[in-house]
Amino acid sequence: MLKKSHIRKGEQGAAYIFIIVMMGALVAFLVPAFSTFSLSDLRSAERQKYRTQAYFVARAGAEALSQFIINTPLRASEIIDKGVSAPVYFGEGHFQVQAFRQEENDRTRIIVHSEGNVKEVIQSTRVVLVEQEQPTSLPGPLPEFDLAVFSNSNFNLGGSSQIVGSAGTNSVVDNSVVFGWSTQVEGNFYVGPGALFANVISKPRHRNIGNIITGSRGNLAAIRNYSMPVFPEFPDLPGRVDFVTDWVPGENYSIDQDGSYELIRVTGNRRLRVDVGDGDRRLRVRNLDISQGHIELIGKGKLFLYVEESFNLGGDSTVNHTGVPGDVIMFYRGSARLRPAGNTRFVGSIFAEKANIDIRGSAGITGHIITGGSEVTVTGDVTANVRVLYAPQATVSLTGSAMVRGAIVSNIFNATGAASVIYDQSIASSFPELVDELGEKEISYHVEMWMAGTLRE
């Protein structure tokens, strides 16, 4: 072993210099390496962030499409097996979705596939829905009709329009409920769960909200889902020749048997008497034209009208004018807009599968109106004792001096001019009776499972 005293000072200095040079070389080697590791870690963290974001974007798309299928089963065929959607931008990325059927073990499943893309990092996820037959015409319990007006989203009250009764909306979006200067709600008003009431409401700057809404203000306890009843299959009935009210001696026009018609036309201010007896009378007709005439019921039963293509009610025509709403139920399968106008009166319920509805002039309807259409307009000096105007997928607009007595369920609600809605509690017992007539089975969809996401870069 060398002792310190044996190393000359020159040699000792050279050793220190060697060590310093070696340490410098080592540092010079390690710094880029550490930098590489650091940059790699940063890139990995960034990729993980995009991967997480892309997954939640994909999940948002899968949830949105799944809820559409579950909430609107009658429209599910519009998107199932129709290919991949266009990109839908969401947050910092976008998603694309598709739905397709898969048959397995005698059961039909709907696969909802969604891909989320954030900065070209792609995650996908799937929801598996199972088709089920339900024994009732409305999925789950019957909806509540405790509000004069309900909208799923926007709610606009303008002009001097008013609502006599409580109202509400699922919306939690800022300024999605608009009140005009002279409007009023004589009851409570509710916005969506968790929303700040003052943010959702937009009102005239100098008008106190307490002068617009006379009752309490708050939030719905939970989101309300109003589903469409199942539109019934039309019955096969014996074929009949066209029925028209051309002049005949005695002007006796009557139908006393079930039947299927290409045309029933009531004109000349004549009266068609339908003998329903003590049971039900079912008439299936391609085109029902009551341009100026009247349909009356004889007996204690009900009249079921199944209209395939067109329904015309004009002039001073009436249907069941002296009867009660539960005696007539009309199912309308056509796509042309329903336009009862003039001074017409229809006492009964109307269920339109997909048609928009336009009630004008001095027309009056006493009974339920149900439609799967996207627009319902009530305008002019109209009095609609509708009990329930049930249009959960539609924009319902009231203009002029239109008055609706009953309850309205809409996607978007608009009222202007001197329009009014007056809540009528008599609806509670009559709507279930109508629903019971709509058929015994329906297809609904329920989430069976979520499937894990996968990464594609």
Q: Write down the residue that tokens 């009378």 correspond to.
A: 281
283-298 core/surface letters (b: 16 or more CB in 10 A; e: else):
bbbbbbbbebbbbbbe
* Confidence (pLDDT) at 7: 42
Measured distance CA(71)–CA(60) in Å, rounded: 16
Instruction: Please give the Cα distance from 109 to 76 (Å, whole number).
Output: 13
Separation of alpha carbons 298 and 288, rounded Å = 19
Residue 205: Cβ-neighbour burial (10 angstroms; 0-12, 13-18, 19+): exposed
> SS3 string of 82-147?
CCCCCCEEECCEEEEEEEEEEEECCEEEEEEEEEEEECCEEEEEEEEEEEEEECCCCCCCCCCCCC
pLDDT under 50: residue ranges of the chain: 1-12, 16, 18, 21, 26-27, 29-31, 33-35, 37, 134-141, 439-441
Q: Print burial letters for 177-195: b (CB count within 10 Å at least 16), e (below 16).
A: bbbbeebbbbbbbbbbeeb
Per-residue pLDDT tens for 341-384? 778 999 999 999 999 999 887 777 888 899 999 999 998 776 66
Tell me the C-alpha distance between 394 and 375, whole Å: 5
| Residue 248: its H or E element | none
pLDDT of amino acid 302: 92
Q: Vertex 64, ends 176 and 332: CA angle to 5°?
A: 80
Distance CA 311, CA 127 (A): 41
Alpha-carbon separation of residue 217 from 197, 272, 361 (angstroms): 8, 51, 35
Residue-level pLDDT at 368: 87
DSSP strands (E only) in 241-327? 243-244, 253-255, 259-265, 270-277, 280-290, 293-299, 302-313, 318-319
Q: Which residues contact 155 (CB under 8 A, 6 or more apart)?
A: 149, 167, 169, 171, 176, 177, 178, 412, 413
Q: Show the tokens assigned to 145.
A: 């009709």
Q: What is the pLDDT, as a whole number, of residue 426?
A: 67
Sign of the CA dihedral with 130 first, then 133, 135, and 140 last:
positive
Residue 72 is predicted with a pLDDT of 72
Is the pTM higher than 0.75? The answer reads no
Question: What are 162-207's pLDDT values in tens digits?
Answer: 999 999 999 999 999 999 999 999 999 999 999 999 999 999 988 9
What's the pLDDT at 104?
Answer: 75
Among residues 313, 311, 359, which one has the least CA distance to residue 335? 311
In terms of DSSP bridges, do strands 121-134 and 107-118 run parallel, antiparallel, or are they unpaired?
antiparallel
| Amino acid identity, position 55 | Y
Distance CA 375, CA 396 (A): 6
Q: Is 159 helix (H, G, I), strand (E, B) or coil?
A: coil
